[in-house]
Amino acid sequence: MGSFLEMRKIIKLFNNNMVLNNIDFCADKGKVNALVGENGAGKSTLMKILAGLYPPDSGEIFIDGKKVSINNPKQAQELGIAMIYQEMRLFPDLNIAENIFIRREPMKNSKLVRRIDWDVMYKKTQKYLDYFDLKINPHTQVNTLSIAQQKFVEIIRALSRNANIIIMDEPTSALTEKEIDVLFKVINNTKKLGVTIIYISHRLEEIKKIADRVTVIRDGKLIESCSIDEVDINQIVKAMVGKELEDRYPKLKVKIGREIFRVQSLGFGGRLTDINFTARKGEILGITGLSGSGRRTLARVLFGINGPYEGQIYLNGRVFRYMTPYIAKMNGLCYVTGIGTDEGLIPDVTVAENITITNLKRVSRMGFIDRNTEYDSSKDLIERLEIGESEREIIDNLSGGKQKKVIFAKWLFTNAKVLIIDEPTAGIDIGSKVDIYNIINELVLSGACVIMISSDLPEVIGMCDRIIVMFNGEIRKIFNREEASQEKILYFASGGKDTME
Ligand SMILES: Nc1ncnc2c1ncn2[C@@H]1O[C@H](COP(=O)(O)OP(=O)(O)OP(=O)(O)O)[C@@H](O)[C@H]1O
Ligand SMILES: [Mg+2]
C-alpha cells in the first residue's frame, strides 16, 4: 500500500459480461508501471476507467492517498491524468501545434477581442519538439507524419497539459527499434519530472528494459504485481497465460515450390533503388529494416498504393509495369496491414461484415448479401483465429489485439496467393502470436507465399525461410534462415555492407 495511484476492487461489466472482476491496481510515482495481459484481459478497459472514459460499476480510486471521483474525461484531465490510446486520437487535418493546443490555445488579450496567440503556440511547440530532438516543423499537418511521429505528438500533448499520470496503451506496436529507443529516452526524461507512467505493452523484452514495476492481469483479475527485478520473462508469460508456453515460433518445414513472385530492378522516385528478389510457393520471406529503410514503401509500391515505379513486378510469370491495388487483388496479391490497430476496419458494423467486405461475391446470392452465409463463413475464420468473439459483435467493442486478428481474418477470406503482411503481430499478445504464426503456416502449406514485413527480429528469424534486410531504400543483404542472427541483421540494417563486395 501507499502507492501514488491505487485503484481498488474495480468491477466493470459490458452487457452482463464481467470484464474487470474486483481488480486492484497500483502505480508508483516517478516510475514506469507496466501493465500486461493477454488480448482481451481488460488492460485498456481498466485504464479507460482511470481516464474517465468508462464509469466503473464499482470500486474506488485514490491518488496520493486521497479518494477521487472520475466520472468523465474532463475530471480525469483535471486530476492530471492523460491517456495515449491504442488507437490514434489526433486530428488528422490539423497541424502539430494545433493538435497539441487544441481547445487550450494560448490567447492574446487585447482590449477588444481575445485572439489566439499563434506565435506563442508555435514557439512552445517548437520547444517541445527540440526537447525530444524531433526534427519536424510544428506547422506540419498530422496526417503526413509517420505513426511514430504521431505518437510523439500525443506524448507532447499530454506533457503540455501538465499530466502527472500518463497512460500509454501499446505505444510501440507500430514503431521500429530506432523509434522505440527515442521513445524510451522520452519516457526516462518524463519519469525524472516525477510523472507516473503506466505502460501497456505485449513486448515483454521491452518491459524488462523500461519498466520498474509490472502488473499482470488475466480475465479481468489481478494475477501478480511486483518489482521488475523480481521476475523474468518466462514467469511473466506464465502468469499471463496461466500455463507454460510451448514453442514461441512454430516454424514448419514446408516444401518450397516454384517461383510465384519476382521483383526486378525496382525503383521508386529515389526512395527505392534497384530492388531484386523472388519469392516461391510455400515460402515465408521476411523483410526487415530500421525506420526509414523503405520496407513499408516497398510493400506499398508492390501493392500499387504508391507508384509509378521503375522496373518490373512478376506475378505468376506475368509481368506488370504498373500496379494498382485492384490489379494486385485481381491477381492474387494482397497487402495485410494492421498498423495502428484500427486501420482497415469499418467502425460501427459487425465483425462478420468486416471480414467479408474484401470478398462480397463469396457471400452474395444474385447480387444481394446473404447474411447467413456471411455469418457462417466468418464464424469459421473466427474459430480458426481463436478470436473468441461472436461474429455479430460490433467491431468497436473488441479489444485492440482482437481487432487486429479480424484484419487478418478479412484477408484470409480472399484466398490470396501472395500475401504481403505488414507487422503481423504488433499489438498481439504472446499466446495469440502463436495463433497468427500457425495461420501463416497454414497459408504457406496451402501453396501461398507470405512476405512478412517485420521489425521484430526474433520473429523474423523464428518464422522466415529467407530474410531481406533493407537500408536506405536498398536491399543490403538476403539471409537464409540458418545464417541469420539479430547481430548480423542489425549490422546490415544500420548500413553495414558485405566485406566481400
Ligand atoms: N465498449 C465495449 N463494449 C463491449 N465489450 C467491450 C468493450 N470494450 C471492451 N470490451 C470487451 O472487454 C474485454 C477486455 O477488453 P480490453 O480492450 O480491455 O482488453 P485488452 O486487455 O486491452 O486487450 P488488447 O491487448 O487486445 O488490447 C474484451 O473481451 C472486449 O471485447
Ligand atoms: Mg487494449
DSSP code for 282: T
- Say how many Å lie between the CA of residue 227 and the centre of ligand 2: 22
Nearest-angstrom CA–CA distance, 435 and 431: 7
Q: Report the percent of the chain where pLDDT is more than 70.
A: 96
pLDDT in tens, 140-198: 999 888 877 888 898 888 888 889 999 999 888 777 777 788 889 889 988 888 999 99
Residue 39 pLDDT level (bands cut at 50, 70, 90): confident
Q: Which of 82, 51, 52 is nearest to 154 (CA)?
A: 82
Question: Which residues form ligand 1's pocket by a CB distance below 6 Å?
Answer: 14, 19, 37, 39-45, 86, 397-402, 429
Ligand 1 atom at shortest distance from the alpha carbon of 45? 18
Residue having the nearest C-alpha atom to atom 22 of ligand 1: 44
As its CATH architecture, domain 5-241 has 3-Layer(aba) Sandwich (3.40)
pLDDT in tens, 18-35: 999 999 999 999 999 999
Ligand 1 atom at shortest distance from the alpha carbon of 38? 25
* Helical packing angle, 371-384 and 400-412, nearest 10°: 110
Alpha-carbon torsion angle 95, 100, 103, 106, nearest 10: -100
Give how far Cα 243 sits from Cα of 94, 226, 236, 246, Å. Answer: 47, 19, 10, 9
* Among the ranges given (152-166, 217-231, 273-287), the one the predictor scored with the smallest mean pLDDT: 152-166
Q: Is the pLDDT of residue 106 over 80?
A: yes
pLDDT in tens, 432-459: 888 888 888 888 887 889 999 998 888 9
pLDDT of residue 327: 92
Strand residue runs (E) in 377-447: 418-422
- Say how many Å lie between the CA of residue 19 and the centre of ligand 1: 7
Nearest-angstrom CA–CA distance, 77 and 47: 13
Q: What is the mean pLDDT of residues 356-367?
A: 73
Residue with cell 510469370: 317
- Say how many Å lie between the CA of residue 400 and the centre of ligand 2: 5
DSSP code for 398: S
Nearest-angstrom CA–CA distance, 491 and 501: 15
pLDDT of residue 341: 43
Could you tell me which residue, 147 or 239, shows the higher pLDDT? 239
Find out whether 405 and 436 touch, Cβ atoms under 8 Å. Answer: yes
Residue 476 pLDDT level (bands cut at 50, 70, 90): very high
DSSP code for 239: H
Nearest-angstrom CA–CA distance, 48 and 45: 5
Residue having the nearest C-alpha atom to atom 28 of ligand 1: 40
User: In this structure, which ligand is nearest to the CA of 338?
Assistant: 1
Residue having the nearest C-alpha atom to atom 1 of ligand 1: 397
User: In this structure, which ligand is nearest to the CA of 48?
Assistant: 1
Residue having the nearest C-alpha atom to atom 19 of ligand 1: 40
Could you tell me which residue, 87 or 388, shows the higher pLDDT? 388
Q: Is the pLDDT of residue 262 over 90?
A: yes
pLDDT in tens, 309-332: 999 999 999 999 999 988 998 898
User: What is the grid cell recorded at 14?
Assistant: 459490458
Give how far Cα 359 sits from Cα of 217, 366, 414, 415, Å. Answer: 37, 14, 6, 9
Domain boundaries, the chain: 5-241
Instruction: Name the pTM for this structure.
Output: 0.72
